[in-house]
Amino acid sequence: MPVEARRWADLRKQVAYRSKRLNTGHMVEADQRFGQRDALGPHGVMLFFVSDAPAEPHGYQLHTAYRLWLASPESDDLPRLLADLAEVAAENAARSASAGRRWHPLGPDGSMVNGGDMSQPAGATYVGVGVTTLDSEQGRWHQVARTLREGLATGRHLSAFDLKGQCYALLTDGTALHVDRDPHARLGVDGIRCNKTLAPERITYYNPHEHLTEQGDDNTREVWRQLGALHHTLTAHLLAGRPA
């Protein structure tokens, strides 16, 4: 099995697990700040980079920076949020280019992030973008968060650690990942759906998620579409001139 294939399969899993962990942190922080002046919005964006790390099993280290927003009507609309971010990224890149500089989403000028690995090794390479969202099949975040405080009709109270979350990610090798973070999932059920293999040594003839970005309801497909536009903008700017 080619080294590159094993590396990408490992990276897909690392991105999925990192996204799930960030989604959990997003959920806990949003729950703690719910109803306050600094309440968090239900959606965030994650940027993924890798740097060379010869001591690691697959020779790389994953770095993740993210952006969370304060709660507002604008930050509640995920497709709109992604579309606006793609537009801002394109404007920042064009403005820097006209001034003879090269813009980077981690800053220092026009930073797109406010958390995570904002200082990375020189030469770290962009490999993808993702979304953390607190909306799930249990309901929209604001609705579910109120339930935490009011209790269920049964009289039982839930905590943030009972709630589901979701993540979406697109990587530069054409990977599309969806993570359904379910704290009550059965042992062995990781909630990861991917259009590419997570286990390159296993021969599979059929992948039900091969066309992942075309599946789901209208809103889900629109999230994929706008995330794809942001990914295209970042890839075109950050990887321009690099060998494929």
**Is 155 a residue whose pLDDT tops 80?**
no
pTM of the model: 0.93
Region 159-168: mean pLDDT is 92
Cα–Cα distance measured from residue 67 to residue 76, given in angstroms and rounded to the nearest whole number: 14
User: In whole angstroms, what separates CA 125 from the centre of its chain?
Assistant: 16
Digit-coded pLDDT (tens) for 97-131: 899 888 999 988 889 999 999 999 989 999 999 99
Digit-coded pLDDT (tens) for 58-92: 999 999 999 999 999 999 999 999 999 999 999 99
Question: Are residues 85 and 92 in contact, defined by beta-carbon separation less than 8 angstroms?
Answer: no
pLDDT band at 244 (very low <50, low <70, confident <90, very high): very low
Percent of the chain with pLDDT over 90: 74
Q: What are phi and psi of 236, to 5 degrees?
A: -60, -35
Cα–Cα distance measured from residue 31 to residue 119, given in angstroms and rounded to the nearest whole number: 28
Pairwise pLDDT comparison (34 vs 206), residue with the higher score: 34
Give Cβ neighbours of residue 239 (< 8 Å, ≥ 6 apart).
125, 126, 172
**Is 57 a residue whose pLDDT tops 50?**
yes
In the sheet that holds 60-70, the strands lie side by side as 115-116, 60-70, 40-52, 125-133, 165-171, 176-181, 192-194
Cα–Cα distance measured from residue 134 to residue 140, given in angstroms and rounded to the nearest whole number: 7
| Lookup: tokens for 148 | 């935490």
Digit-coded pLDDT (tens) for 142-152: 999 988 887 65
